[in-house]
Structure 1
Amino acid sequence: MFALGTAALQLQPELPTAVTVVWVAVALAAAVGLAAVLRGRGRAARLSLMAAAALAGFIGAALRADDRLADALPMAWEGRDVPVVGVIDDLPQAFGEGVRFTLAVESAEGPVPSRVQVSWYRGRDDDSPLPRLLPGERWAFALRLKRPHGFVNPAGFDYEAWLLERGVRATGYVRAQPAPRRLHEDAGGWMTRVHRVRAAVRDRFLAALGEAPYAGILVALAVGDQRAIPAEQWEVFRRTGIAHLVSISGMHISLIALLAGGLVNLLWRRVPTLVLRLPARKAGVLAGLAAALGYGLLAGMGIPVQRAAIMLSMAAIALMLGREVAPSRVLALAVLGVLLVDPWAVLAAGFWLSFGAVGAILVLAGGRIGPAARWSAAVRLQLGITLATVPLLVALFHSFPLVSPLANAVAIPLVSFVVTPLALLAMVLPWDLLLEAAHWVTARVMDWSVLLADLPFALWRQAAAPGWALAAGAVGAWMWLLPRPLPGRAGALLMVGLLLGWQPPRPAPGSFRATVLDVGNGLAVHVQTATHDLLYDAGPPYGPLSDAGERVVLPYLAANGVARLDVLVLSHDDADHSGGAGSVLESIAVDEVLAGEGAGFVPAAGVPARACAAGEQWAWDDVGFQVLHPVAGRGPARRNNDDSCVLRIAAGGGSLLLVGDIEQRAEAGLVRGDAAVLASSVIVVAHHGSRSSSSPAFVDAVLPEAAVFSVGYRNMFGHPHPMVWARWAEAGARNWRTDSQGAIAIEVDGSGVTVNAARESAPRYWHGR
């Protein structure tokens, strides 16, 4: 109930006011008082305590959130250069253009939050490496900061929530002038010294293994730093369900405790003087707990590590006191402990998966399963955990691996009892042979995992389901885990089937839905009719290793149950429109590509690609699609923006105009040709609102009800230009923008046009703060 109260707070669009907090506190006191009065009266007293726990979780999380949000960068200070002195307090992470780290701010010439995430980039013409950064170093920087901001798309990753949980209240980058200065080489506390040890282990592992492909996995198992694992390996983990093995979790913590405790127990009992002072069993318990906590610190104390450490601590206390504690109570205390430390843990997938998996183990191995061979019990346990986590995986990731039992059958014993011990031993003994052996075994595990991941049925993809379907699937999964004589158990799988068979509703014939995704300063628009799907542009790249196709478009399509695109339209070859096309073409079936400027820039993917040309028309489900520009056969435009493919989509209730980056010259040509066809209910404004587009004549020809600007937060171009913004508003359009409102959803049906914004449809109290 404490966890539910905490989770309820995290779903609020705004934090409760001071008056609301007072009333909740009064209700909490009343519930506690009622429980005290009803003590010993069974159900009524328990219900009072449950209500008190839920209220305590809610009010505690609210007070913590209010305190954290108060540590903010004022809007007026965004984009300024601020001199800051601070200490690096985590593991710096190198990336293609520089290094990224968290800075604990000690002093600043302005109202800078206490923790900021900083990127230090090399100069454009400077190939020299940046200084090697270590945790605990004190530096003086000039930082240009902005408030936490991320993309907000339906069923997408909430970067602002991720930053909030980690206490990062601003992000920014290092300015070249004045030059950064290292003030002290070791100015941090004891935790930064732990991070230094972690950094030393990570660097030694990577140096010893060189270009070995799975070095990042061994680093993750040793010190919990997963950032050296490349994206393609994470995809294998996702498709096979073995990601938990490279995340230091209860299995690894328990293994360390078992090895250390067993060794101390064995040695302790051979020294009579020690045994007379403290029984060997208790000495082993204390040693195991100390080793587990030490390993947890080296691992960075993530949520699964916290859970395991708290559970081991409870069990150790019970053993030291000579008492028995039910495993379910230990698990409940671990939930309480994690949320007292971090009330935002309920926003993390690891919280639900970690506690859900352990809960399933307790149900399956709680003494209610009849005798069975060890291998049979192990198979049942793995299948039970897989079934129990299906609703969670569908809710969190919109997919689950069907090959997980096969992958884990090989990976769990090898990683747990061979790879992890070798990696941990290599932390103590600097023998490269240990790392080479661990890497060889890891490679065999990955060979098997890649084989399974490549199977066409490896991953079940499931559209984002409503709450009732998720609840039905969760109840069904847990009913199946209960003892066989339970009435109605046979219907449990039917409830899971309701979840897995659910599909999101599509537009009716004669209607369409378009979503302008929040991809930053770029463009990606998904258009859906009753039976067809079109993607107009695929968003920008986000560096050499990531792009909008991978990070935004594909997760959005998966959450909406889209497994195939009938047409991918790439308006022109600017990176902010076509940068994500490669990821899309590699990961989802596409029947055809239409491209402005011809098809020469389209990534090779074995998909037919042809030039977009004015006059082409087609209809899907009583929805018309018409290409208005460019005109076939004419020479190339002076600027490639004017070669953008312009597409108009029309149904009975309204129309949508997609114009890419056309500028005023192309707009003038469209107005001269057939201005009447330009009239549309909604337009995605050309060139993100640049003043080189949206001429007065073009605006007058379109005269939309709504104008959508796809722009990045505080983008360097200043899009949208205030003059352009005002011009569309003066023409009678309501203006929408993705940077402040998130993805923009446009529904066109027989009743007209409806426009909604993601940040307004599902607001959270931390958005924009």
Structure 2
Amino acid sequence: MKGEAVGVPVSARVVARAISPGLVFSGFVAGVAAQLQQSALWPGGRYAALLMLAAALMAALFGAMALTSRTLRGAGVALCLFAALLGFALTGWRASNFQSSILNPALEGRDIKVIGSVQAMPQSGEDGVRFRLDVESAHLDEQAVKLPPRMLLGWYSGFAGREAKNLAPQDADPFEMGLALQRQPQALRAGERWQMTVRLKAPHGNSNPYGFDYELWLWEQGIQATGYVRAGPHDAPPVKLSSSWGHPVERARQAVREAIFARVENRQLAGVLAALVVGDQNAIERADWDVFRATGVAHLMSISGLHITMFAWLASLLIGRLWRRSAGLTPRLCLALPASSAGALGGLLLATLYALFSGWGVPAQRTIWMLATVVVLRQSGRQWPWLQTWLLAMVVVVALDPWALMQAGFWLSFVAVGVLFATDSGAANARQEMATGRFASENAGAAVRSEGPPRASTAPSGGSAARAAASVGTAVCSEGPPRASTAPSGGSAARAAASVGTAVRSEGPPRASTAPSGGSAARAAASVGAMFREQWVVTLALTPLSLLLFNQVSLVGLLANAVAIPWVTLLVTPLAMLGVAYAPIWDAAAWTVGLLALFLQWLASWSLASISVAAAPLWCAVAGVLGGGLIAMRLPWHWRAMGIPLLLPVLLWLPARVAPGQFELLAADIGQGNAVLVRTAGHALLYDTGPRFSRESDAGHRVLVPLLRALGERLDMLMLSHRDSDHTGGAPAILAMQPQASLLSSIEDGHELQSLRKSTRCVAGQRWEWDGVTFEVLHPQAADYEVANKSNAMSCVLRISNGRQTALLAGDLEAAQELRLAATTNEAGRAKLKADFFLVPHHGSKTSSSALFLDAVQPQLALAQAGYRNRFGHPVDSVVARYQARGIRLIRSPLCGAATWQSLKPADITCQRQEGLRYWHHMATP
């Protein structure tokens, strides 16, 4: 038959026509996404049965079409459904296998002697060192026990509790003071085998609305237990058993990191270099991260897809040139493999080695799989439409790492690549010609194919859709410490990197397809114009998505990236890498980092360097991304103008508030500490700010700032119950974010927070009203400030009431002060203690929640904010029994996560851990 391929059986051609790759790819990804919504896993056998069913149905469908030699109606849809079933079952089966090796709950909190090897480069900090240990054997009381194969451990250094926690002598924690006796961590190196005593717990993170999913991150890293090394005076000391040649890449990374810090005196600059060379993002200080986020260049300050694709492009150029030069010596190499193929494959191989040296993080892996997909397609000679190429890359990434679908970087990467594909000038020309009827129907397939990536033998084109495929280098893919991301750039560096496999035929950077032929200056100007246009296109398309994911976007990001992308990719990173071979070059690299830092600090100082918006629902984000993409498309202006209304919902979204006369409490999950957000119809108060974890980390930066940003809250008042660090740890971050908020507390005049904002003393009798809701301070009395009291005794007690429902927040109030409040002879005073919602004093300590006080308060609900398996045992069993004996429903934050209570529904409480439950989340038992 005319037009049919010679020698291909009719049945094979029928089957091939029935397959719509894009539909099948979409089905597989949808199936994986559906499985990730499961709150609990099924038995592994059920997933295995579904896998076999999907395979059998696909085989039956192909067989039926082959036997009948015709396309069955609905075959494409059926294949899509089978692919979805396959993706669902495969992901579930893998998850079930992984979950089978979780930590036995009976082993939590026990001292276990383990032997294992350090799996990766340890991370050092002010409080000690954290490292991953691959377990070889474990014993409890001389009996062998089974542990998860990999765990994340901390070996904490000794410190003086008073200085680290800013505690008064009478408030010093004996446990913290005792850490001064802790054996100092030794210099751990990757590959070493150690014997040590550890105390473990299940992976458990904070569960908050819009918060970072730490448990998902641990799951992706293959970590099923966390804990710390027992190295006190009464513990068996850790012993290094041997140094092995295992993990040579990690050992090399550690040696390079140490060499950088030894060479560069400025630790801030050294930290950036370490991040760029070996992928150690923890080496960058928090203040620097704040500047990078505000200016939208955070993605450049760690090894990400942008750096890897740029490296691949440079490597492909070098290998291609050397391969062609080899023809002067012997033609065998070029005859065996064309220079273009050698450059593409060699560039991919070297990029893989670079990704391994960077720590083989999830973004790096994702970049390699995407690059590999594009290179393999080109080398096979296939010319797929860009959409199918894009979907195939997504399928490869998702098949290897299904949980990447839950990461912001995944979506920012693929949306950026898709937008660059869709707005490519070649694709636009094809769409225009199709619209005017220039293509006959029989040529439609060729027109679509013209949108795909160029073949390996073609000259590189800066405007081709193929370069978008490699702009997986979009740096927002980076997942380190949780941070707000800005729209990535599709600039010239990323475009050049995209030419792996095609650029080897050119001696220089790829040129934009629209570049004029009138000289190098004109071509350079065209390339710069193309770079700025692509930066603008990606920024416009990804801003709505970034606002959805991070509730913040940099307004100076376009300018900052225009300078920082070429500066970092073409100057800083190459110098930093060359320093591995010759250390003095790191001095020059540090100097270039310092210059860039000055420029970025200047931009970050602008009053409108970045903006924040409240978290919008998913439909707003979808509309916003479509609107941004529509404006960026090469379409007539009246079509592009239709994208503007689609942008408005995500920019103008306002979350619902309680009605006047009602109020709401949101107790954040911040570990061992207090932090409760009180909201009325038009006002907000934050009661305490949670703990300080280290110099670089506290509940303010980690939990409360992102939460307030996502809720779109402007605080009217910050109330700190007392000076202890588990209540004031996040205050500096909150005060910096909320300059308009007043400060009410019992902290003394000389406290460091007084230098950030002058505090008004909280005194019993203070009273104000917001939106029909009354706030009143019940403790301490003015006379209490005249005597030396423990900090807990000075806790500010806040009563919130609308006349019908009441909430009582009691800080760390102890029994003596409770009894004084409960013994109030005035009947009206006693009535004020009655509450529907009660924040358990002192997290459930045995020194609080006295029987007389509970009888006076008589709450329906009580919430104990405490850390999971905290060292104090809060809430203690005797206190729990006291609440249970009175029929008071006691909620514990490790089981509930962030808890939301509303005066409109006083008997109900909403737990974030149950609302957003997924199977990788840990569900603690009481």
TM-score (norm 1): 0.94
Answer yes or no: is the 8 Å Cα contact 1:653–1:753 preserved in 2.
Answer: no
Give the one of 285, 289, 297 matched to 2:356: 297
Which has the larger displacement, 447-456 or 566-575?
A: 447-456
CA–CA distance in structure 1, aligned partners of residues 789 and 258 of structure 2: 51
C-alpha displacement at 1:687, in angstroms?
Answer: 0.7
Counterpart in the other structure of 2:110? 80
SS in 1 for 2:133: strand
CA–CA distance in structure 2, aligned partners of residues 599 and 508 of structure 1: 38
1:507-546 equivalences in 2 (<5 Å): 507-546=658-697
Answer yes or no: is the 8 Å Cα contact 1:91–1:101 preserved in 2.
Answer: yes
- Residue 358 of structure 2 corresponds to residue 358 of structure 1: no
SS in 2 for 1:76: helix
- Residue 234 of structure 2 corresponds to residue 208 of structure 1: no
Counterpart in the other structure of 2:822? 671
- Residue 648 of structure 2 corresponds to residue 589 of structure 1: no
| Ranges in structure 1 where 5+ consecutive residues have no aligned partner | none
1:212-291 equivalences in 2 (<5 Å): 212-272=267-327, 273=330, 274-291=333-350
SS in 2 for 1:577: helix
Q: Deviations over 1:583-625 (max 9, x none)?
A: 2112222431111255543603553411111111110000011
CA–CA distance in structure 1, aligned partners of residues 887 and 54 of structure 2: 51
CA–CA distance in structure 2, aligned partners of residues 737 and 682 of structure 1: 13
SS in 2 for 1:693: coil
Answer yes or no: is the 8 Å Cα contact 2:662–2:773 preserved in 1.
Answer: yes
Answer yes or no: is the 8 Å Cα contact 2:156–2:184 preserved in 1.
Answer: no
C-alpha displacement at 1:479, in angstroms?
Answer: 2.8
Q: Deviations over 1:316-341 (max 9, x none)?
A: 33444444455544433332222222
Counterpart in the other structure of 2:845? 690
Counterpart in the other structure of 1:5? 31
Give the one of 555, 562, 569 matched to 1:402: 555
C-alpha displacement at 1:467, in angstroms?
Answer: 2.0
Counterpart in the other structure of 1:473? 624
Answer yes or no: is the 8 Å Cα contact 1:462–1:561 preserved in 2.
Answer: yes
Counterpart in the other structure of 2:533? 380
Inter-CA distance 226–42: structure 2 relative to 1 (3 Å threshold): farther
Counterpart in the other structure of 1:430? 582
CA–CA distance in structure 1, aligned partners of residues 277 and 872 of structure 2: 44
C-alpha displacement at 1:151, in angstroms?
Answer: 0.8
Counterpart in the other structure of 2:918? 764
Counterpart in the other structure of 1:65? 95
Counterpart in the other structure of 2:763? 613
Give the residue type in structure 1 aligned to 2:238.
P
| Ranges in structure 2 where 5+ consecutive residues have no aligned partner | 1-25, 140-144, 159-178, 430-513, 516-525
- Residue 771 of structure 2 corresponds to residue 716 of structure 1: no
- Residue 371 of structure 2 corresponds to residue 316 of structure 1: no
- Residue 860 of structure 2 corresponds to residue 705 of structure 1: yes
Answer yes or no: is the 8 Å Cα contact 1:591–1:608 preserved in 2.
Answer: no
Q: Deviations over 1:232-259 (max 9, x none)?
A: 1111221122122123233322222222
Q: Deviations over 1:115-147 (max 9, x none)?
A: 000111224335985322111111111111111
CA–CA distance in structure 1, aligned partners of residues 48 and 575 of structure 2: 55
Answer yes or no: is the 8 Å Cα contact 1:573–1:597 preserved in 2.
Answer: yes
Give the residue type in structure 2 aligned to 1:691.
K
CA–CA distance in structure 2, aligned partners of residues 136 and 506 of structure 1: 54
Inter-CA distance 317–597: structure 2 relative to 1 (3 Å threshold): closer
1:93-132 equivalences in 2 (<5 Å): 93-109=123-139, 110-123=145-158, 124-125=179-180, 130-132=185-187
Rg larger in 1 or in 2?
Answer: 2
Answer yes or no: is the 8 Å Cα contact 1:704–1:732 preserved in 2.
Answer: no
Counterpart in the other structure of 2:892? 737
TM-score (norm 2): 0.79
SS in 2 for 1:108: strand
SS in 2 for 1:555: helix
SS in 2 for 1:726: helix
C-alpha displacement at 1:349, in angstroms?
Answer: 2.2
Answer yes or no: is the 8 Å Cα contact 1:87–1:187 preserved in 2.
Answer: no
Give the residue type in structure 1 aligned to 2:874.
H
SS in 1 for 2:325: coil
CA–CA distance in structure 2, aligned partners of residues 424 and 402 of structure 1: 31
Inter-CA distance 328–448: structure 2 relative to 1 (3 Å threshold): farther
Inter-CA distance 638–450: structure 2 relative to 1 (3 Å threshold): closer
Give the residue type in structure 2 aligned to 1:400.
V
1:521-670 equivalences in 2 (<5 Å): 521-562=672-713, 564-596=714-746, 598-601=748-751, 603-634=753-784, 635-636=786-787, 638-670=789-821
C-alpha displacement at 1:636, in angstroms?
Answer: 3.0
CA–CA distance in structure 2, aligned partners of residues 144 and 480 of structure 1: 55
C-alpha displacement at 1:560, in angstroms?
Answer: 0.7
Answer yes or no: is the 8 Å Cα contact 1:595–1:602 preserved in 2.
Answer: no
Which has the larger displacement, 412-421 or 444-453?
A: 444-453
Give the residue type in structure 1 aligned to 2:274.
V
Answer yes or no: is the 8 Å Cα contact 1:363–1:481 preserved in 2.
Answer: no
SS in 2 for 1:270: helix
Answer yes or no: is the 8 Å Cα contact 2:861–2:889 preserved in 1.
Answer: yes
Inter-CA distance 667–319: structure 2 relative to 1 (3 Å threshold): closer
C-alpha displacement at 1:34, in angstroms?
Answer: 7.1
Q: Deviations over 1:320-367 (max 9, x none)?
A: 444445554443333222222222222222222222222222223351
Q: Deviations over 1:617-646 (max 9, x none)?
A: 110000011111111134436433121111
Answer yes or no: is the 8 Å Cα contact 2:260–2:586 preserved in 1.
Answer: yes
C-alpha displacement at 1:717, in angstroms?
Answer: 0.9
Give the residue type in structure 2 aligned to 1:6.
V
Inter-CA distance 569–431: structure 2 relative to 1 (3 Å threshold): closer
Aligned pairs, number? 762
Inter-CA distance 413–339: structure 2 relative to 1 (3 Å threshold): same
C-alpha displacement at 1:81, in angstroms?
Answer: 0.8
Counterpart in the other structure of 1:54? 84
SS in 1 for 2:769: strand
Inter-CA distance 591–455: structure 2 relative to 1 (3 Å threshold): same
C-alpha displacement at 1:681, in angstroms?
Answer: 0.5
Q: CA RMSD in A?
A: 2.3
Give the residue type in structure 1 aligned to 2:354.
Y
- Residue 43 of structure 2 corresponds to residue 14 of structure 1: no
SS in 1 for 2:922: coil
CA–CA distance in structure 2, aligned partners of residues 508 and 599 of structure 1: 38
Inter-CA distance 713–128: structure 2 relative to 1 (3 Å threshold): closer
CA–CA distance in structure 1, aligned partners of residues 546 and 73 of structure 2: 34
CA–CA distance in structure 2, aligned partners of residues 488 and 38 of structure 1: 43
Inter-CA distance 448–638: structure 2 relative to 1 (3 Å threshold): closer
Counterpart in the other structure of 2:75? 45
C-alpha displacement at 1:280, in angstroms?
Answer: 2.5
- What is the percentage of aligned positions where both structures have the same residue? 42
CA–CA distance in structure 1, aligned partners of residues 832 and 338 of structure 2: 89
Answer yes or no: is the 8 Å Cα contact 1:419–1:442 preserved in 2.
Answer: yes
Give the residue type in structure 2 aligned to 1:436.
D
Which has the larger displacement, 229-238 or 406-415?
A: 229-238
SS in 2 for 1:367: helix
C-alpha displacement at 1:210, in angstroms?
Answer: 2.2
SS in 2 for 1:125: helix
Give the residue type in structure 2 aligned to 1:670.
L
C-alpha displacement at 1:510, in angstroms?
Answer: 0.2
Answer yes or no: is the 8 Å Cα contact 1:144–1:175 preserved in 2.
Answer: yes
